[in-house]
Amino acid sequence: MIKQIPNLFTLLNLVFGCLAIVVILQNGIIIQYAADGTQLIDIPEKIWMASLFIGIAAVIDFLDGFVARLFKASSEMGKQLDSLADVVSFGVAPAMILYQFLRISMAQEEDGMNASVIWLVPAFILAAAGAWRLARFNLDESQSFGFKGVPIPAVGLMVASLPLIYWHNHNQLVVDILFNKWVLYGIIILLSWLMICKLPMMAMKFKDYTVKNNMPKIILLIVTIAAAFIFQWLAIPIVFIVYIILSLLYKQQPS
């Protein structure tokens, strides 16, 4: 029974991913009209709960590996189960967030509410790329202390930050960028490519505790703390970009 504890953590990751999807789907577009007849389109604030659930899933995803090592209960089943949970929590759920953001973007255009669903389908490229990345990861035994391509939890958290940035940001330029369909398509393509590419990316695991061998992780930690204080939720995409830059600068090969 003890050996199943890590798998229970993994299933809990999956449950929170499912909860995120439920919250996203329950948030329809709100259409209101100003006194001058101007149409105002928005999404309910409750969608931020999806970001919360994805964040909790990420914490659990980190803990299940720790628990597996603690109880010496690593298994092939656990590895496969972890990927199945990740594709829901960090692939499908974030793709649904992008789907809703694309809906808002379309709705703001003239006759946008009648736009073809084909304009929204690209959101699911992210989920497909995530599934591809996880399948490849499961077949590759060389990614213990480094990754080939950006790990799907990092991409999931990046997308999950968008509702939080939207609801806690007072800069109209940022809002306009978030609801620009071409920007959203660009985000989808870029994040999908980063997952399936084979660029060396660092894993947040420590081979040892020397400063020299862990310098990029230390820099990332400092940037994360500083950015959180200065930029609040905007810190997440900033840290995501810094993570990629540090990985490429230090070129840590998977091993």
Residue 255 lies in a domain: no
For residue range 10-30, what is the model confidence (pLDDT) as tens digits?
Answer: 899 999 999 999 998 876 666
Cα 137 vs. chain centroid, distance in angstroms?
A: 17
Is residue 79 within 8 Å of residue 11, measured between CB atoms? no
List the CATH number of the domain containing 78: 1.20.120
- Residues 224 and 246 sit within 8 Å (Cβ to Cβ): no
Would you say residue 125 lies in a domain? yes
Work out the end-to-end distance of the chain between its first and last CA atoms, rounded to an integer number of angstroms.
Answer: 32
Tens-place pLDDT, residues 31-86:
665 566 555 666 666 788 899 999 999 999 888 777 777 766 677 787 888 889 99
Predicted local confidence at residue 64, as pLDDT: 79
Domains contained in the chain, number: 1
pLDDT tens for 122-166 read 999 999 999 999 999 888 776 666 788 899 999 999 999 999 998
What tens digit of pLDDT does each residue of 179-217 get?
A: 899 999 999 999 999 999 988 888 876 666 677 777 888
Residue 44 belongs to domain spanning? 2-250
pLDDT tens digits, 81-102: 888 999 999 999 999 999 989 9
d(CA 182, CA 229): 30
Residue 110 counted as domain residue: yes
Q: What is the dihedral of CA 39, 184, 220, 15, to 10 degrees?
A: 80
Count how many Cα atoms sit within 13 Å of the Cα of residue 16 in the half-sphere of its side chain: 22
Rounded to 5 degrees, φ, ψ at 71 are: -95, 5
The verdict on residue 60 lying in a domain is yes
